[in-house]
Amino acid sequence: MTETAIPLIENHQPATFRTRGIAAPFTTPLLAGARIRESSRTGIELVVPNPSGGRGVYIVHWPGVGALCKPTVHDTMLFRRCSALRDIDTASIRAAALDVALEGHAGRDAAAAAETSIAADRSQRLLSHFLLLMGVVEQVDPDGIKATSLLERTPDRDRRASAAVHLVAKEIGRPASYLAGGLAAMGDAFSPIGVAADDQAARIPRLILRLRETSAAMASWLSDGPNDEIAGLGRLVTAAMQSAGDTGAALLQATRLPFADPVGLLKSWCSARTEVIARSGRCDALLDGWERVALLWLAAATDATRRAALFEMIPVIPVLPREAMDWDGIAIPAAAMDPVCRVTSHDNTWRNGSASFGLVERNETLRAMSL
């Protein structure tokens, strides 16, 4: 490793989500917790946590990654695909990662999981679009029959939906086709959230559930298990994960509020489209990077591997940028803006050499477990 070749940015306290970058599911052990962000010079660049666990990050473009580690084929393909993206956001990085996994670069299990996720995402988008449309119909015609599932779609419902959109279009003074496009775009954007009030099948509610279950499992393990410094670290991670889950749940609820007034949401779309899209991505932005933290725990099957997992979890726990404090309708805990703690190591033997093969395999398992 040639640390002198790449300057370490000592005080990396990102102000915005854009400068923080998007968590990417790299499988190379030394790229754990690395994020991808836009770069004016090279298109995209990586924000890599200091491998020692100490303060600071490396900002590297792809050729510079070679100075830190030897990336896997999966990561090379992922970076290449991300380089071609027009926008760097959680949705586009997720789609790129699923495509790379589908090609088999993280193994057969990850490919099968990616296929399932892609199909689930597609269904969820269709459902969200359908439910938003039905929401408009029900608001315009409150006495009509309610629909909550794609299976309930009929030609008669489609006719009623078209009539309702035309009615709202006339009221707002926009073409019906523009509103239909807006509903489709919002269906896509809000699909990870789940448009139905009690939707637990969408990705974000499932992720929140995973964080809550994982933090509960960690708390249970800590109450029966170690009574040493590792227990102290475990409690810090558990508290941070619980807080992320709770904040995520509150934000999910707040994000779903406009769904109670679909016509109002359409009006917002017409007047402040960028703002609506930005709101749809808040939950993803808030929880970006947390899935890996939970998966590290869930993939550990014995006490010894759980202890080791805690050391891996700490440096990849997401730190929120200050921009999150400006969000209305949600109180972000101030602690989420700071690292939970730091655990430094003097060497990387635990993830280099012979150890790296097992870690790459484990990281591929995390891809297969990903939502």
Binding footprint of other proteins on the chain (CB under 8 A): 70-73, 76-77, 103-105, 107-109, 112, 226, 228, 230, 302-305, 307-308, 310-311, 345, 350, 353-354, 357-358, 361
Distant-in-sequence, close-in-space partners of 315: CB < 8 Å, separation ≥ 6: 32, 33, 49, 50, 53, 342, 343
- Phi, psi values for residue 252, rounded to 5°: -60, -45
Q: Nearer to other proteins by C-beta: 20 or 105? A: 105
Tokens of 226: 């170690």
The nearest distance, CB 140 to other proteins, in angstroms, is 50
Sign of the dihedral defined by the CA atoms of residues 170, 172, 173, 174, in that order: negative
Q: Nearer to other proteins by C-beta: 77 or 132? A: 77
Helix or strand run (H / E) with residue 9: strand 8-9
Alpha-carbon distances of 355 from 30, 158, 214, 345, rounded to whole Å: 12, 57, 25, 15
Alpha-carbon distances of 14 from 119, 171, 277, 280, rounded to whole Å: 34, 43, 22, 21
Q: Nearer to other proteins by C-beta: 19 or 352? A: 352
The nearest distance, CB 88 to other proteins, in angstroms, is 22
Q: Nearer to other proteins by C-beta: 224 or 328? A: 224
The nearest distance, CB 213 to other proteins, in angstroms, is 20
Distant-in-sequence, close-in-space partners of 6: CB < 8 Å, separation ≥ 6: 58, 60, 64, 67, 68
Q: Nearer to other proteins by C-beta: 11 or 227? A: 227
Q: Nearer to other proteins by C-beta: 333 or 358? A: 358
The nearest distance, CB 99 to other proteins, in angstroms, is 13
The nearest distance, CB 307 to other proteins, in angstroms, is 4
The three-class DSSP label of residue 25 is: coil
Residue 264 CA to residue 270 CA, distance in Å, equals 10
The nearest distance, CB 309 to other proteins, in angstroms, is 9
The nearest distance, CB 94 to other proteins, in angstroms, is 21
| Integer-rounded Cα radius of gyration of the chain | 22
In this structure, which amino acid lies at residue 204? I
Q: Nearer to other proteins by C-beta: 65 or 133? A: 65
The nearest distance, CB 117 to other proteins, in angstroms, is 17
* Spacing of C-alpha 346 from chain mean position: 31
Q: Nearer to other proteins by C-beta: 141 or 228? A: 228
* Spacing of C-alpha 332 from chain mean position: 17
Helix or strand run (H / E) with residue 199: none
